[in-house]
A and B are shown apart, each in its own frame.
Chain A
Amino acid sequence: MAAKVVSFTLNGRETEVMVKPLTTLQVVLREQLGHTATKTGCRQGGCGSCTVLLNGEPVLSCLLPAEDVAGQQVTTLEGLTPIDGLHPVQSAFFDHYAVQCGYCSPGMILTTKALLDRNSTPSREEIVEAISGNVCRCTGYTAIIEAVEAAAQALKGGQNGR
């Protein structure tokens, strides 16, 4: 089958790519557009390292055909990072040692962003539930949960990132 043009908004920027049928959003982002913050831990929907935001909601880009995002808003971790410094969620992850090897961090941070957008005061249980699709093999999760709590506090207080 022939490739076709897919238009969508990537990190606020109008983007057009030539996409072969069934090519995943993950492959388009990483290999065609060079957005490598989106990771490839399993490429079968099991680890959450490829999480991106589709219209603000977390999705697994490794399972999503790129043609399905036509006309929609895609945010990767590159799009969350401000020109100067860090987004408050990124600051909280940095300050609370919620990153070790760094491989789950992009997906974990975007999942957190989506959680705090819909629930500014999540309970510990709600945080655990929200990040349950993002596998971290280093931290044991405690530092990540504390970072999400700190990010919620910072956003509530209207603080910016560092």
Chain B
Amino acid sequence: MGANVLEKAAEKKYRVVGQSVPRRDGMGHVTGATKFVGDVHYPGMLHLKMVRSPVPHAKINSIDFSEAEKVPGFVRVLTHRDVPKNIYTILCLIGVGPDDEPVLAVDRVRYQGEPMAAILAETEEAALEAVAKVKLDLEELPAVFDVEEALKPGAPIVADTGVNYFIYEGHHCRRVRYGDVEQGFAQADFIVEETYNTKPIEHAPTETTGCVAKPEADGRVTVHTNTQALYFSLDNTALILQVPFQKLHFVGGTVGGGFGGKVDVITEPITTLAAMKTGRPVKFIYSRVEEMQVSSPRSAWRLKYKDGVTKDGRIVARQITSYADAGAYNRHTPYAVTKHAANVAGPYTIPNVHIDAHCVFTNHTPGSAFRGFGVTMASFAIELQMDKIAATVGLDPWEIRFINAYRNGDVRPHRKVAEDVTFIETMQAAAKLAGHDLPEHLLAMNSWDRNGGQHG
């Protein structure tokens, strides 16, 4: 195999690969016949709306529903006392713990918009009016919004574990240790340091998150949902409601835009509970405001790089301290940070690497999955850092990437052997597409034979 491996693959004709196939759901989409969750309607269906915290951190003294109950069409309220197992963490199904998030807040709210009680009413308007008439007696607590502030002694404590970080096998962060970075820095001609910050990003799907739960005559509940994780949602809902899995029938697969934003198991447990408690179909669909304010965004990240580089452009040591702002609860961030730690050194072969990746709790809206979460923000920082290295050393940014690029068989910092790597070939193809002429010695490199390039 050689440098033109991608071109060779492109020459080969396949029946499916490289061919256009009509979308299975396309006809329904262009005729409007596709049924989305919001299109599901049952006679006698109730509407659920949430009472949400107006502040980012507070002790709950009391909640007064007396005026809400007088609204015509009000049916009932659900509080934490109605939820059989009112604490969960989505990834408990793959062994992540401890459970940390209540379905409905008990005595404390930890982010603005946190659900405190669910109101059920005959119409959506009545549900909204009743929510507006709920009186909250809250005692606001100091809040923390910065990942490094949250880790300082004396910071307001968000998590019930008593520390504002997820504990990875007894450690305060996910650690990767490979070689000896201090030795690497000693060999370096340049030290290149930079901090990179990113902000939360909302998926903003055109269809908002939601579900409809309908009790059936046989005692089961059918749940129509736009979740991206159907069985994850079913299993978590069953655990929260303390019912056998076969009591629930989840119907899904039609998602009006997800991008990772619809994997949180967030509307199904309370809606299913509401259907079971009332014996009526119940619909709970986020408003656009809820979608923007309380659905999990991509987390904000802070990444600090310190690289040791020789004057011929070799990165000989890389030290990274990074922080994911998980917001108030786990959701998917503990997993994202682990995935991040495996990738944050980049697709480069570096002999000495030291990574401390933190999953930090703050009073922000909990973050969650979003297209390559944990890695996308790392790539942003890595590639800016590569440009900074190129400028510092005085080499072409392409050259820096080619000479440090990982090859097949290289060991990565987390001890995985790189396999099926085509990074060099991809860069060569990208340069060609961009109309950038690469010098001969970079065109001669490939991902299989390190001696094909200039560094041996």
Chain A interface (Cβ < 8 Å from any Cβ of B): 30-31, 34, 36-44, 46-47, 49, 76-78, 81, 86, 90-91, 93-94, 97, 99, 101-106, 109, 135-138
Complex: A138 Cα to B38 Cα, angstroms: 19
Contact B30 A37 (CB under 8 A): no
Complex Cα distance, B209 from A40, in Å, reads 12
Contact yes or no, B32 A76, CB < 8 A: yes
The answer to whether B207 touches A42 (Cβ under 8 A) is no
A137 in complex: contacting residue of B22, B29, B204, CB < 8 Å: B204
> For window 194-224 of chain B, which residues contact chain A by CB distance below 8 Å?
203-208
Given A94-B23, A103-B205, A135-B206, 18 more contacts at CB 8 Å?
A: A36-B32, A37-B32, A37-B33, A38-B32, A39-B38, A81-B31, A86-B27, A94-B30, A97-B26, A99-B23, A99-B26, A101-B205, A101-B258, A102-B34, A102-B36, A103-B256, A103-B257, A137-B206
Determine whether the beta carbon of A41 is less than 8 Å from that of B27: no
Within the complex, which residue of B20, B31, B203, B288 is in contact with A41, where a contact is CB–CB below 8 Å? B288
- Chain A residues contacting B25 (CB-CB under 8 Å) are 102
Residues on B with C-beta less than 8 A from A138 are 257
Q: Does the CB pair A102–B28 fall under 8 Å? A: yes
Which residues of chain B are within 8 angstroms of A42 by Cβ–Cβ distance? 288
Interface of A is mostly: loop
Contact of B206 with A101 in the complex, beta carbons under 8 Å: yes
Q: Which of B22, B38, B254 contacts A40 (CB 8 A)?
A: B38
Interface centre among A43, A99, A101, A106 (most CB of B within 10 A): A101
State the interface size on chain B (CB cutoff 8 A).
32
Known pairs A94-B23, A101-B205; A44 contacts B288 (CB<8 A):
yes
Would you list the 7 A-B pairs with minimal beta carbon distance, nearest first?
A37-B32, A102-B29, A103-B256, A77-B32, A36-B39, A42-B288, A99-B29
A136 CA to B28 CA, complexed, in Å: 17
Whether the Cβ atoms of B257 and A86 lie closer than 8 Å is no
Per the 8 Å Cβ criterion, residues 9-45 of B in contact with A are 20, 22-23, 25-36, 38-39, 41
> In chain A, what residue has the closest Cβ to B203?
A137
CA distance A126 to B126 in the complex (A): 43
B454 at the interface (CB under 8 A from A): no
- CB <8 Å contact, B32 and A105: yes
> Does B287 interact with chain A (Cβ within 8 Å)?
yes
User: In the assembly, what is the distance between CA of A81 and CA of B25, in Å?
Assistant: 16
Residues of A within 8 Å of B34, CB to CB, are 102
